[in-house]
């Protein structure tokens, strides 16, 4: 964890130098310097994450030796990357490096497109655990970053570009398909009363939905999924609370502030959809995988929210409050809840095997 903290501290410092107090354009190469420290840490990791060796490294070896183990398990886009690396006789290191490049390119571009407070967004990228997740779930993390970038085309009503990007994301991880129908809901304007009412209803349903969905799954012969390690049967209270708070305040600002940018509505709606994801988390196996697609909006929405606060003191207080909540959850999940992503201890490929597997 000290390596991650150091890399993010350097990235945040660089962003304060090159991306300060402006809506950044991604055409300036200097604006990309802040992402390099965390990108390099991600690229040169070794054995990090629960899936590194037994899913992705083993899956790559299956491609090299013509075994069919991963053909049905992996999506076509990810398989194509494996075949490409195998064609040039590279090691699995290059698969991880390519996926890290995809994640950081699209995620950082998402940040640059939406906020002028890049430093705070980078901090939230770490505190929200999205970046830590990218060290383990490389397929979905890359898909998540592409989906996040695609949101801008929902805001500008460019469906062709939006659906092409979502298709690309789905070729890396099928869960990105959830964003196909959401294009038609992103630009709707929801009132505060509607959001609060739906929040109460959805939160209540979160307690009764597991047994109902398990019954339905048994009918279709998939009840065993609810007995697997993927089904944790718990509600993500922290995510629900933070989402409700952020969505409610930004909705209020949308109604009260005459200069509120209407483009931000798609981010607000993504946060609103996260209410459904968080409230039903106890009913869905591996629910956090779906929740990430919506909570990624925090990374830019919280800095936007702070920007619209009337006083600097209020802005600072809100930023510190939300950061402490997310940071506390990060510490708990990493050190007190079994380090579910398996990323707490960093190992560098240049040190672990002397670079023999590059």
Total Cβ atoms within 10 A of residue 211: 11
Per-residue pLDDT of the chain (358 residues; tens, 9 = 90+): 788 889 999 999 998 888 775 554 556 778 899 999 999 998 888 888 777 777 787 777 777 776 665 556 788 898 889 888 888 877 888 989 999 999 999 999 999 988 888 999 999 999 888 888 888 888 889 999 999 999 889 888 888 999 999 999 999 988 788 788 778 776 666 666 676 676 667 666 656 655 665 665 566 554 555 554 444 545 555 666 666 666 666 666 665 666 666 677 787 777 777 666 666 655 555 555 666 766 788 888 888 888 877 788 888 888 888 888 888 878 877 777 665 567 777 777 777 666 565 6
Orientation of helix 265-279 relative to helix 237-256, angle to 10°: 150
Q: Torsion angle of alpha carbons 223, 224, 226, 228, nearest 10°?
A: -170
* Both tokens assigned to 283: 């009913």
Structure confidence at residue 24 (pLDDT): 46
Q: Domain coordinates of the chain in residue numbers? A: 1-177+339-358, 188-308
User: Bridge partners of 45?
Assistant: 348
Please say whether the beta carbons of 301 and 246 come within 8 A: yes
| Prediction pTM value | 0.83
Structure confidence at residue 129 (pLDDT): 84
The residue behind tokens 């083993």 is 58
Please say whether the beta carbons of 91 and 59 come within 8 A: no
Structure confidence at residue 137 (pLDDT): 85
């Amino acid at each position: 964890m000290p390596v991650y903290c150091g890399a993010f501290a350097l990235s945040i410092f660089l962003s304060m130098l090159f991306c300060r107090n402006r809506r950044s354009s991604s055409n300036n190469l200097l604006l990309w310097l802040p992402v390099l420290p965390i990108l390099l840490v991600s690229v040169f990791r070794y054995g990090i994450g629960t899936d590194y060796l037994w899913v992705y490294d083993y899956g790559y070896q299956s491609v090299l030796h013509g075994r069919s183990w991963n053909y049905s398990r992996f999506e076509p886009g990810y398989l194509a990357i494996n075949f490409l690396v195998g064609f040039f006789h590279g090691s699995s290191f290059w698969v991880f490096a390519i996926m890290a490049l995809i994640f950081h390119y699209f995620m950082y571009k998402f940040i640059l497109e939406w906020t002028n407070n890049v430093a705070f967004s980078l901090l939230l990228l770490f505190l929200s655990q999205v970046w830590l997740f990218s060290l383990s779930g490389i397929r979905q993390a890359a898909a998540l970053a592409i989906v996040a970038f695609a949101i801008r085309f929902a805001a500008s009503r460019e469906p062709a570009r939006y659906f092409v990007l979502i298709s690309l994301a789905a070729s890396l991880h099928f869960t990105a398909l959830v964003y196909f129908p959401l294009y038609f809901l992103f630009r709707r304007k929801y009132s505060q009363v509607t959001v609060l009412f739906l929040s109460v209803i959805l939160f209540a349903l979160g307690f009764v939905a597991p047994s109902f969905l398990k019954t339905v799954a048994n009918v279709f012969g998939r009840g065993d999924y609810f007995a697997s390690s993927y089904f944790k049967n718990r509600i993500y209270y922290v995510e629900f609370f933070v989402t409700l708070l952020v969505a409610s305040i930004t909705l209020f600002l949308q109604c009260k502030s005459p200069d509120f940018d209407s483009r931000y509505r798609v981010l607000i709606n993504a946060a609103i959809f996260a209410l459904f994801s968080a409230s039903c988390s106890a009913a869905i196996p591996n629910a956090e995988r779906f929740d990430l697609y919506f909570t990624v909006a925090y990374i830019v929405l919280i800095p936007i929210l702070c920007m619209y606060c009337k006083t600097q003191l209020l802005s600072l207080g809100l930023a510190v409050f939300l950061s402490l909540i997310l940071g506390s959850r990060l510490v708990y999940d990493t050190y007190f809840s079994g380090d579910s992503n398996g990323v707490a201890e960093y190992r560098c490929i240049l040190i672990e095997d002397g670079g023999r597997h590059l």
